[in-house]
Every structure is written in C-alpha cells, then in structure tokens.
Structure 1
C-alpha cells in the first residue's frame, strides 16, 4: 500500500471527515505510471504501522464502502496481518456491485464509467483521495436513485457500531499528502543550489574539470544527499572555484546530458524526465531543459565534459530493480548482449544496481546502499550501453590466452 484515503459519511451520506496520506511501503513503489507516486514522494511518508492506530479509529464503527470493496479489503487485511492483527468481519457496501441496480445504460462498471454515467467528475483518477471522494458521491447518487438503499444503509450502520475492533496504542505520525509533497517540492531549495549560495561569487576556473568529474559521480543515481552536497562544497572551496564558475559548470553538465540524449536525434520520455530531474537537482528551473535541448539540437554530438564517466567492462555484474520504462526482459537482454552479467541479487561483486527510481526502498536498493554499491538511473545505464562496454583485457585480437574462460562477443548498442 502506497496511499490511502477515507472519506467519512454521516447518516445522510454527507461527508463529515477525511483521512488521507501517502505511505512508505519499505519496498519498490510499483506502477508509478498508474498512481503517479514516485519513491521520492514517499521517502518522508509514514509506514503503515505508524498510521494504523489512526486508521482503526477512522474506520471503527463504520460501514466500509469502496468500488470493488473486496479488492481494497484484501490490502487492508494484508497490511494489518503484517502487524499480527486480524480485522473483524466488516459490514461492507460495494459501489461497483450496486451499479447495475442504480445506474441505467451502463457500458462498464469501472469507477470511471460509473462516475461518467452519474455525472460525477473524476479528475485525477487513481489518486486515493480523488477516488474516495468519487465513491462517496456515487453512493449518495445511488441512494437518490433507489429508496431501498437509504434503509439498508441505516441497518448496516447499526450493525457496524456493534463490531468489536482491535485497539492499538496511539502513535504520533506526520501524515503526508500529495498536496504537501507538491508544495514542498515547489518551494524546496536543492542541495546544489544551496551550495552555490555558500560560495564566493568569484573564483578560479582551473578546477572546474575536477569538480565536474565528482559532480558526475554524485549525480549518477539522480539524488544528492546532504553529505554529498557538503563534499562538493568542500571540493569547490579547496579548488578555489567560485559560485559563478560552479553555476557555469552545472550548466555545462546539463548541456552535455542534453547533447548525449539528442545524439540519436530522438528524445524519449524517459530521457526528458531524466533531464528534468538533473535540472532540478542542479537548481535550475524546468525551462532550462528546453533551453539546453534547443542548444543540443544545433551542437555536434560530442560530449566535452564528464557525463557518467564510469565505465562498464565485459563480465561486470549488474542488477536491475524496479518497474523500468524499458521492459525488464529487453533491458536484461541488452545488458547480456553487451557482455554484462545480469544477476537477480546484489552482492559485493555487483558493479552497479540499475534503478527505475534511485530513491527506491526495494530490498536490492537497500542492500546496494549497505554495501556502498552505486545505484544508477535507467536512462544513465542506457547511455552507458550506447557508449559501449570495454572488452575483456585478456582477449587480444580475437584470441584468448590459454586457460582463460570464454567470453561472449561484445555487442555495443547505439
């Protein structure tokens, strides 16, 4: 579970309360393209066990209503089971099952189809609060269409009041909604932008190349920690690089990424999103991506500043985690064709972990962080494959020294 929303209704089916929060699942975030929640969004969100006492209080003594209610109940049962709690048998009402009885000429029974038939707006579907509010309005619509439903609601509400609910000691947890995440993101000052603010305006430019090399290593997982930002600041100070030179270096780096992305004449959705992430981390506005892409379209396809300077060698072990934009089997095939070993687990021999979302809390991502193994974003890994994998140094002119193991032929993708 990565998000939950509950809209409380009174005896007249009018909203009288609301509870909603993102949830940190402690694992990979899943189908981001459907729910539009990223791992970064839930980093500061509470775990389910932290919101469980509040959720029990919100649901206690109430009828549980949802669209395909058994589907939602399985999620609740599973989450509470992980806490060794068993929910009682609850009185439930399903707006999907009631649709045929209360709506006429219905082509399908999805929440979107039912809302359309009932004239209920559903902007932002698959956000928990949006769906829960729509279900509340749908139930009220059903009650107006079928007089029997109001009486049924009264009986079920009376039964719900008698259900013995488990109790948990209260926990103080900070709820995190999509709106809070969006506000904080719009007003946050990225670590690297703060770094610029801490440096003197003027300074030497001779150390910019060294700064860029370290910046590239920091940004390869598309996240910047406070420790990494402090290290970059200390490096800039030791090199005598001033704020103006650092800003120029950041712009050079973003342009180099744009040139690399445009080298094949196509900017994919994943590449565009990746450029946006880097621009944000560097402290640039979203418009910077369009500016650099416009410049890249007129530039020669040659990167003159470090962009992911790490190298891949034939036989390197890589592990992939998360719901990657490139189908997993295709990504694994491309890596294998290039001579890499794709493993299902992370060990000390793993060279890189390729992450669909570098903020992932998947077991593979957590293990990589424990071992100090770099996490690299999927677009970065694809760029590395396009650049080519360095052949086995034991293989010379197509001949293998005696006793050396056979290696698959190198296949670099473009």
Structure 2
C-alpha cells in the first residue's frame, strides 16, 4: 500500500518559508494502539497566521459488533457509536478539508497508520498528502522534559483543553504548528507538493462529541508534565502513543485497575513486550515520586495517589519507603507565566525542564507570577498576585530568581516517515488565538529612519556639488549623511 502521508520536516534552519501555506490539524481516537479502527475523527483547517478557517468532527461507527476499545480511557462506549456515521460516509468531508493543505498531527506516523488502514478497508485510492509532525518539530525547537501534547501545549501557553477528545486535540495541534512557525521561525526543509485528492459524496449526518474542559489541574497533572522523556525508555511512534494515553490517565489522579488493564491490553495487542511495558511503568512512577519529593514535602494526598497509581500499574515496589511528611523542609515553588512571545515560551519551557510546577491559573499556591513585556500593567492578576503574596517578576528577573539557565535550541530531530501509511452542536473547545506577527521594535524603526535620512543627505550632497555648490558646505552635509547612515545601521542591527 502506498504511503498515505509524505512526512515533511519543520526546522529552524529550513530553506522554505511557510508563507501562505494552510494547515489541517487532524486527530483520531481509536479502538487501540495497533491494529484498530477510528472511533472519532476531527480536523481543523488554519492559515499559517493562525486564523481558523473550518473545522470538522464526528464519532465514527467502526462496524457492527466492533469493540470500541478502552472506553475507560477515551470515554466512548459502543452505544455512542451505534448511531454514528461510518468512516466512508464522512470521507468526502474529511478529504475536502485536507485538499491543498499540509496535514498536521502530534505523532504523525501513528495517525497516518490508522488513516491508511481506513482507506484500505474502503478501497479508497488516495495519493500521498504532505504532513508535519508537531511532536518531532517541538523536539527540535524546544527543550522540554517530555513532548506529550499537554506538555508542549503548556510550554507555548495554549491553556487547558479536553485531552483525548479529537476536536480539542486537533485545535491544540493547530495552535502548536502556527506558534512554531510564527513565533519560533520554523521552516520547511522541502517544499510541500499538494496532490489532487479524490472527491466523495458529502456526509449527510455527523455525530460530534461534547468536549468537557477540565475545571482545574491536579497536582499529578503538574507532575506528569515534568516527567523526563528518559524515564520512558525506548522511543518510537507506538511508545509515544502509549505514553500519551498513560499520561492522560494519570493526570486526573483517578487511574483504576480497570483503566490500567485496558491500557496494558491495548499496548500488548499493538506489539509492546511485557518487559517494555513494565519498564515504562517503572520509569514513570519512579520519576513522579522523585518530582513529588524534590521540594522535601510529601502530603498525605500525594502519597495516596502515588500508591494508587503504582498499584494499578503493577509496580508497587517503586514506592518502597515512601512516607507522607508532617512538616515542610523546603519551599513549594509554583510559577504562573503570563504573555506570549519567544522569550515567554522559552521561560515556560525552562520552568518545566527544571522540574518546577507550571501553574495554569492564579491561585494561592502560586509563588511566582512572571509577566511578559506585552502584558498590560492593568492586568488584574498582577494586583491579585501581590495580594496573595506571590513575587511578580519580568522574564529576565524570573530566570535569575528561579535559577534558570538560558535554553539553547536542541538539535533538530528528523520526522519519522510513516511505515504505512459546521456549526457547533456543543460548546466549542478553547478558542485558538491567532498568532499575529509581532511589530518591529521602536529601535528598529529609528535605525531605519536614520539610514534613510543619511542616504538622502548623501544624495543631496552629490547633486549640490554637481550644481556648483561650495565644497566646504557639500563636505559638511556629506559627513552628516554618512554619520546618519552608519549610526542608523548600528541601531537597527542591535534591534
């Protein structure tokens, strides 16, 4: 079977600017990790500047009698799917949204494999479409402890979202790609080529799912975002997909034996060896324990949740000797960062990479509020933070106060090539802010104006000398012109 997606790279040293390219961010919820069926599909089409153009989402009936998979994980039951359209019924709408755009997915090889399987079942001959993996692009552009969708979204200030619902994930993925392009300057290493996609009948019915945004983060969600990627062991699209599922299950603090068994069964069916599964679970829980203990405080709640997770994942030995502490021997630092921009994103990434909790909302537990330059002084959370006793700092001050070293962009990681390749019927997911281009700084404009005046004075000097003006006056004006040109160039270069 021909590849469904031709993987492209987005890197800081790419040769081809994104320009007017449009992206279609896609996400599937599936019956398993491999093999399996799609039970929910979503797509969000955006311009490169972040403007949302169209969206599409629906539950998908995988066929009569097909088990929906780990319902404890994705919250989709067989009953939900009985009245949903089949994939073939919505294929026309899906391909119409993708036509002439670059596909985007977090873990593109995983999504492409399921897309290819669905095309194969239908006998649909679809040419290879260009696609970008935001997981691989983020690995090359940001230094983070791990690259789960929630972690990367937090690093670029995308906010909370209903994790593992297809439309919410697609919106966040669209936000990521436009942020990486506009704010971090990533470019294509090869120019996208857009094939003509086949046309199919439009869908006569859709069955979108209601997305419920979490009311607030848990302490374990903060810890999961900071677990280092090295704790997971080997890397690959299957492993990345399993870590994504496991992280989402742990983040809500309520992983049960049933949920853990469903996760393990999906991983085993996909080909993960029992030893690899045990290694991932051991590394994950060990890292969470280490992060929880890093400030010298283990609350009763934390001990209970860690033991519940370790028991469900069959690694209780990892918590040998863990005890809740009655007194604090350290300071719980918790950071909330306001604003958008490259420096702000870099600070968020540095906070996560240092193993510090990155708050999503201003609460009494926040010890440091960091405010980007573009945030107005009238922002109400600034005054409220002072009332709560939190330190209010700029980006540079925060790096010094928190002991964070400036980050360097990691070496680009090649995108793995896949082996195989409406109106809202419910409250919409958190809106994706369009990533507007930042205006040039004032110093840059001043430099340009000085250079322009300098060139103008030099031009006037030449005309005056040819017109018979005095040499001394011409020399004086000429020196002013050269000075203006050089001075303006230096100001613009520094800006």
Q: TM-score, structure 2 length as denominator?
A: 0.34
Indicate the structure whose relative CO is greater, using CA pairs within 8 Å and at least 6 residues apart: 2
